[in-house]
Chain A
Amino acid sequence: MKIRPLAETIEPQCGQFYMLQSCDNYDPLLKRPLSIFNFDEKYLQFLFRIKGKGTSYLSKVKAGDIIHLIGPLGNGYLEPKGDFIIVAGGIGIASLMPLLVKFRKKAILFFGARNSNELLMVDAAYDMAINSYVSTDDGSIGYKGLITDLLTDFIKSNHYSKELPIYCCGSIPMFKTLKSIIERHNMTCYASIEEYMACGVGACLGCVVKIKSDEEGGFSYKRVCKEGPVFNLRDLIWQ
């Protein structure tokens, strides 16, 4: 979806997001968070999967319709200084695409999805990466299995890769596997994560995640919309 802002906007950083709403009635009531997928001076572009009511309404928007949005919001990816690795799971590519665009031919891309239909924008991503590894759960394209398997093999056979930072966005099981990989090889990984949001600006405290800290219990709650959505994967704790 491509949107032309009616008011002056701030240029988004890679990994930031917007809160969007396509209708004025009260159901759905809340705005929906979507990562910035692409942008230029004129347009903001979003890539999303239809999940429920909110995204379904957004998908029905026609040229000329008005969309309400707030953004850019959150802390995006710490920009890479040299080559880097991208690990995208399914629609997670939406949040990582600006990195591929901005740092052309600097990324080694690992892109996994359930099937070939969910490997969105794979050709464009392929063109912008140094090289690409693709997997699907059903084997309809690329390796049949998990993208993290391909990453593990790659790290084993390319020792230099342990020095490269990983940028990832995907599902919780993927993050959990990645976490064990980076801990084993002492690597750095920036992960963009999702949580239910109401305000998107840090006011409601609805979107928190557990982050390692010295506080009582060994963790503190941080807001995905404000301190995130990108966190250091090492610091994240899942129940």
Chain B
Amino acid sequence: MAMNSTLFEKPNLSVRIGSLNLKNPVMTASGTFGYGEEYSEFLDIDRLGAIVVKGLSIKPKKGNPTPRIIETPAGMLNAIGLQNIGIETFIKDKLPFLRQFSTPVIVNFFGDTIDEYIKSAETLCDAKGVQALEMNVSCPNKEAGWCIFGTNPETLRQVVSVVRKVTHLPLIVKLSPNVTDIGLMARVVEDSGADAISLINTITGMCVDIVQRKPLLANITGGLSGPAIRPIAVRMVWEVSKAVKIPIIGMGGIMTYKDALEFFIVGAKAVAIGTANFINPCATIDVIDGIEKFMLEQKITDINQIIGSLRI
């Protein structure tokens, strides 16, 4: 009997992202899990590896007119327009709820200007209960003709370097997939002092009403998410894992534990679940349980044995 007992031991699912210890490598993707409250009646928040909240900015933002979402084959386009309650209200009204749990809170944030990024990071750093920051760089730069921060290596370097200087918290930079060389962007982010990289954000897309000949989204274009983008996301995580040494959080179309495992194998140290939460509110928990069961079956004792284990 003693011989068999090791087989039934719980495998190790804990991973480290910079100085952040996660009990398991499964988190929520920003913008798909609200501020945690919305899903708390469906699942045990304490079981999550980390919780990443909806993107915040210094000033509250109203967001785009509707329609904001359109379903596409195996995916959805969204143009929410970064609607959020603002950092101050978040700290006052939402953070106390999240502090009740043992699960680390990662705050996703963005700015229209470099100055706003700095102010956001400074304010969040001082808030009790924020364990890490995730910088969304897939938003337009007001001071440079509304170009996306994360699609130009120079602006990317500039914005990440200055934020790095003002925060001691683990800094995760979330890359935009709407670039020609994701590896280059990843290196820029690593050189600028980020502790980790998360990817992918949504892929810009568009749908047209053929009778009206009008775009289906009020914003004309939107971000594609869901299973449709998963192969692109897996490829990009793989390219980034070859380009940098810092940990990677992989996401894009993960619906099941099998999808998540693809990301670990190509080099992600953790994964985030986005659109899947909308279809199955317990998707995160199902992925955690599924990974554990798979490891038991395959006699893998530590998730770190899977990470970056792609055989070519």
Contact = CB atoms under 8 A, between A and B. Distances in A.
Interface of A: 21, 26-31, 68, 70, 195-209, 217, 220-221, 226, 239
A208 B63 contact: yes
Interface residues of B, number: 34
Contacts of A203: 32-34, 38-39, 54, 277-278
B66 interface: yes
Contact of A198 (B38, B54, B69): B69
Contact of A70 (B54, B68, B255, B281): B281
Contacts, number: 91
Given A204-B31, A217-B62, A30 B80 contact: no
B34 A26 contact: no
Contacts of B277: 199, 203
Interface string B274-289: 0101111100000000
B83 interface: yes
A29 B68 contact: no
A30 B278 contact: yes
Q: Which residue of A30, A195, A205, A209 has the most chain B CB atoms within 10 A of its CB atom?
A: A205
27 contacts: A26-B228, A26-B255, A27-B73, A27-B74, A29-B71, A29-B74, A30-B279, A31-B278, A68-B280, A70-B42, A195-B66, A196-B66, A198-B69, A198-B275, A198-B278, A199-B32, A199-B277, A199-B278, A201-B39, A203-B33, A203-B54, A204-B31, A204-B34, A205-B83, A206-B80, A207-B66, A208-B83
Contacts of B96: none
B253 to A, nearest CB: 9
Given A198-B278, A203-B34, A208 B73 contact: no
B66 A209 contact: yes
Contacts of A208: 63, 66, 68, 83
**Chain B interface mostly:** loop
Contact of B67 (A68, A196, A201, A217): A196
Question: A-B pairs with the 8 shortest C-beta distances?
Answer: A206-B69, A203-B34, A26-B74, A199-B278, A203-B38, A202-B38, A198-B278, A26-B227
B272 interface: no
B139 to A, nearest CB: 16
B226 A26 contact: yes
Interface string B16-43: 0000000000000001111000110010
Contacts of B65: 239
Contacts of B73: 27
A200 B74 CA distance: 18
Contact of A29 (B33, B78, B279): B279
B70 interface: yes
B170 interface: no
Nearest to A200: B278
A206 B227 contact: no
B76 interface: yes
A55 to B, nearest CB: 13
B217 to A, nearest CB: 10
Contacts of A226: 38
B290 interface: no
Given A30-B71, A201-B42, A208-B66, 20 more contacts: A21-B279, A26-B226, A26-B227, A27-B74, A29-B75, A29-B76, A29-B275, A31-B278, A31-B279, A68-B280, A197-B69, A198-B69, A201-B281, A202-B34, A204-B78, A205-B80, A207-B66, A220-B62, A221-B62, A221-B63
Contact of B69 (A26, A70, A196, A201): A196
A31 B73 CA distance: 14
B78 A206 contact: yes
Contacts of B76: 29-30, 198
Interface string B211-228: 000000000000000111
Nearest to A219: B62
Contacts of A205: 31, 54, 63, 68, 80, 83
A29 B71 CA distance: 7
Q: Which residue of B42, B68, B275 has the most chain A CB atoms within 10 A of its CB atom?
A: B68
A199 B68 CA distance: 13
A30 to B, nearest CB: 5
B80 A204 contact: yes
Q: Which residue of A26, A70, A197, A217 has the most chain B CB atoms within 10 A of its CB atom?
A: A26
Contacts of B275: 29, 198
A209 B62 CA distance: 11
A111 B34 CA distance: 38
A204 B279 CA distance: 12
Interface string B239-280: 000000000000000010000000000000000000101111
